[in-house]
Structure 1
């Protein structure tokens, strides 16, 4: 499958959105008091997994962007 620049930008946008929303989620989690330990464990796992997904999507987006740029330069 060949990814175009628009696909790369979508992947990068989703990665950035995940990072921004989960950074805010971390702040909200830190500000929360009087919750059971399981609450913090479950939400910390969610945060870690979603930040890993963001890193993966960001990596794919950067690679796709570079590949689309290289193929565009090769066509010229």
Structure 2
């Protein structure tokens, strides 16, 4: 009976140790997942900023082309003009 109790105690101790190790692995995995989630949020925010910046760049590029065309028209329409 004593050896059976000792065997059960050893199995219990081994199981408890494995459970503790698994708990540590789970905590590490959860921490990493939280880190990745924060990273995803940052990436999402940067994508939004990049999209807005690209949109604004396209607007400014179109504006520059219109102004350039108007300027060329003014120069072509007024030879010798100083403005």
- The TM-score, its normalising length taken from structure 1, stands at 0.53
Structure with the greater alpha carbon radius of gyration = 2
Q: Decide which of 39, 51, 74 is 1:67's aligned counterpart.
A: 39
Q: Which secondary structure state, in structure 2, belongs to the residue aligned with residue 36 of structure 1?
A: helix
Q: Offset of 1:58 from its aligned partner? A: 0.1
Can you give the 5+ residue segments of structure 2 that lack an aligned partner in the other structure? 49-83
Structure 1 segments, 4+ long, off by >3 Å, are: none
CA distance in 2 between counterparts of 1:47 and 1:39 reads 12
- The TM-score, its normalising length taken from structure 2, stands at 0.48
RMSD in angstroms over aligned alpha carbons? 1.3
Superimposed CA distance per residue, residues 30-49 of structure 1 (whole angstroms, 9 cap, x where no aligned partner): xxxx6621011100011000
Can you give the 5+ residue segments of structure 1 that lack an aligned partner in the other structure? 1-33
Higher helix share: 2
